[in-house]
Homo-oligomer: A and B are copies of this chain.
């Protein structure tokens, strides 16, 4: 078949390995004792150079493989520094900063994720970061944090710290015009959001199957059952579109920008909608800090802010599958 949406053997292996790592080292429980996620583990896994060519020190996998990995990262609420590192490594390479790229891939140069906020930047996971990455409108930029003397603060998410700075206070290491890199960043954000949507769907369904009220599991009641069905629908459509966008971007097809924007839109909706319903289904417990539900909500907001809200009418939406040539 020339069209095949099954996982390849390679992909299955990456996923298995990633799941083993994440279950062992990144259980959601770890977030109750906040501290920076160990980037060594992420780097040792090869996550930060997964889709870079082997001659550049990467692992030579494709966009679709990397997307699958970041879905798993989203399920485990891995620090935004992982996504930032993967994008920053590419930006460094395109800027010809080979040794910086190597240090990022190796986990030696930690990268914060910079969100634009008017004339200011909000940096996610700035702790110990040597640089920050931001992107938008077809380009990506690296910022030097080494001399910035940033002081980080607690975010609403106990497990995520942030720092704020005027944008012009942070020196540029370089800015590269690269529509594909910007699209890839959007795609990885969508992947992480999808992972959160999957995890909250699973949490909600699991709880609805065991929590008893009025003499039966609450999942037997249509109101809760239909909430779960809506979570499943939002997740499935976002998941399918994410794969499609990854394939199209990987093939450098002309509709990549539209497909990625659609994936981002659907993933944002799924992650936030599911996070909300998950809290609601967990009731009073869901509103307490003792339940993990709020962690997914807060991270979903952080990652949604990392993704742009693309204008879905700016590109052509193709009716037919477009080929490269």
Interface residues of A (CB under 8 A from B): 221-223, 226
Taking CB atoms, residues of chain B closer than 8 Å to A226 are: 222-223
* Complex-state Cα separation, A222 to B219, whole angstroms: 12
Taking CB atoms, residues of chain B closer than 8 Å to A221 are: 222
Taking CB atoms, residues of chain B closer than 8 Å to A222 are: 221-223, 226
* Complex-state Cα separation, A223 to B226, whole angstroms: 8
Mostly, the A contact residues are helix
* Complex-state Cα separation, A295 to B222, whole angstroms: 30
* Complex-state Cα separation, A222 to B216, whole angstroms: 15
The smallest C-beta distance from A219 to any residue of chain B, in angstroms, reads: 12
Taking CB atoms, residues of chain B closer than 8 Å to A223 are: 222-223, 226
The smallest C-beta distance from A226 to any residue of chain B, in angstroms, reads: 6
* Complex-state Cα separation, A226 to B230, whole angstroms: 15
Interface CB pairs A-B, < 8 A, 6: A221-B222, A222-B222, A222-B223, A222-B226, A223-B223, A223-B226
The smallest C-beta distance from A107 to any residue of chain B, in angstroms, reads: 50
> Closest chain B residue to A224 by CB distance?
B222
* Complex-state Cα separation, A226 to B222, whole angstroms: 10
The smallest C-beta distance from A225 to any residue of chain B, in angstroms, reads: 9
* Complex-state Cα separation, A221 to B220, whole angstroms: 11
* Complex-state Cα separation, A2 to B226, whole angstroms: 47
The smallest C-beta distance from A230 to any residue of chain B, in angstroms, reads: 12
* Complex-state Cα separation, A221 to B223, whole angstroms: 9
* Complex-state Cα separation, A98 to B221, whole angstroms: 63
The smallest C-beta distance from A163 to any residue of chain B, in angstroms, reads: 35
* Complex-state Cα separation, A226 to B221, whole angstroms: 12
Q: Which 6 A-B pairs have the closest CB atoms?
A: A222-B222, A222-B223, A221-B222, A223-B226, A223-B223, A222-B226
The smallest C-beta distance from A201 to any residue of chain B, in angstroms, reads: 19
> Closest chain B residue to A226 by CB distance?
B223
